[in-house]
């Protein structure tokens, strides 16, 4: 995914130039000719949880684009000044209104073509009552055989759910690292 190019220095406002920095870097970067700040275009982290209630998982029906009306795990972009688990907890609360306890790290999904890394934790729901925020049409619990697989918003979510249910059937959870190409 090509993002909008940096045009002005975030530090001093000067118009940047694209060139290979003098520090031994090998890629063209936005470099400020005034203050010499190098601006990097790095991947975005998407963080979320797999909230569970017995043999069910909580999914949220999206009330925003992309993929309005499709089901997803509660997740979103990590903010500055928060850890991965803090971001995952914040997104889960914002999107589902669920009360939960954070669990162990579960998966890391590289989606290089769109410049994202998706990171999911397991979470244990403390109640089956939800108060979804404005980004969610509906928050609902699903058993594995009830999941609307054709209505899952993102491949990262579908693949994470498949690995979750496979681990649950096996009786132990592993950490999963994989790529979506």
Q: Pull the structure tokens for residue 147.
A: 């999941």
* Residues 30, 105 within the same domain: no
* Residues 83, 151 within the same domain: yes
* Residues 29, 61 within the same domain: no
Residue 11's region, left for phi above 0, alpha for psi from -120 to 50, else beta, is alpha
Neighbouring C-beta atoms of residue 93, cutoff 10 Å: 16
* Residues 69, 157 within the same domain: yes
Q: Mean pLDDT in the chain?
A: 95
* Residues 35, 74 within the same domain: no
For residue 36, give the CATH number of its domain. Answer: 2.20.70.10
* Residues 51, 138 within the same domain: yes
The number of domains in the chain is: 2
* Residues 75, 146 within the same domain: yes
* pTM for this predicted structure: 0.88
* Residues 48, 2 within the same domain: no
Which helix (H) or strand (E) is 163 found in, with range? helix 155-170
pLDDT at position 4 = 65
* Residues 34, 74 within the same domain: no
Residues 6 or more apart whose CB falls under 8 angstroms from that of 131 comprise 96, 97
Interior angle at CA 175, CA 170 and CA 178, nearest 5: 105
* Residues 146, 59 within the same domain: yes
Domain extent for 18: 1-41
* Residues 12, 25 within the same domain: yes
Window from 14-23, 76-85, 145-154 with minimum mean pLDDT: 14-23
For residue 157, give the CATH number of its domain. Answer: 3.90.79.10
pLDDT at position 161 = 98
- Half-sphere exposure of residue 16, counting CA atoms within 13 Å on the CB side? 23
Window from 36-40, 97-101, 103-107, 164-168 with minimum mean pLDDT: 36-40
């Amino acid at each position: 995914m090509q993002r909008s190019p940096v045009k002005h220095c975030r530090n001093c406002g000067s118009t940047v130039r694209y060139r290979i920095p003098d520090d031994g870097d090998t890629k063209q970067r936005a470099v400020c000719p005034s203050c010499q700040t190098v601006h990097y275009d790095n991947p975005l982290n998407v963080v979320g949880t797999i909230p569970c209630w017995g043999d069910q998982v909580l999914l949220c029906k999206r009330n925003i684009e992309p993929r309005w009306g499709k089901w997803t795990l509660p997740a979103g972009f990590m903010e500055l000044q928060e850890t991965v688990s803090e971001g995952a907890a914040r997104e889960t609360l914002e999107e589902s209104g669920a009360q939960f306890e954070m669990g162990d790290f579960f998966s890391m999904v590289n989606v290089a073509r769109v410049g994202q890394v998706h990171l999911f934790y397991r979470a244990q729901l403390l109640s089956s009552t939800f108060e979804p925020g404005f980004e969610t049409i509906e928050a609902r619990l699903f058993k594995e055989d009830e999941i609307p697989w054709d209505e899952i918003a993102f491949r990262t979510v579908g693949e994470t759910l498949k690995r979750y249910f496979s681990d649950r059937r096996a009786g132990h959870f592993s950490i999963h690292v994989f790529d979506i190409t």
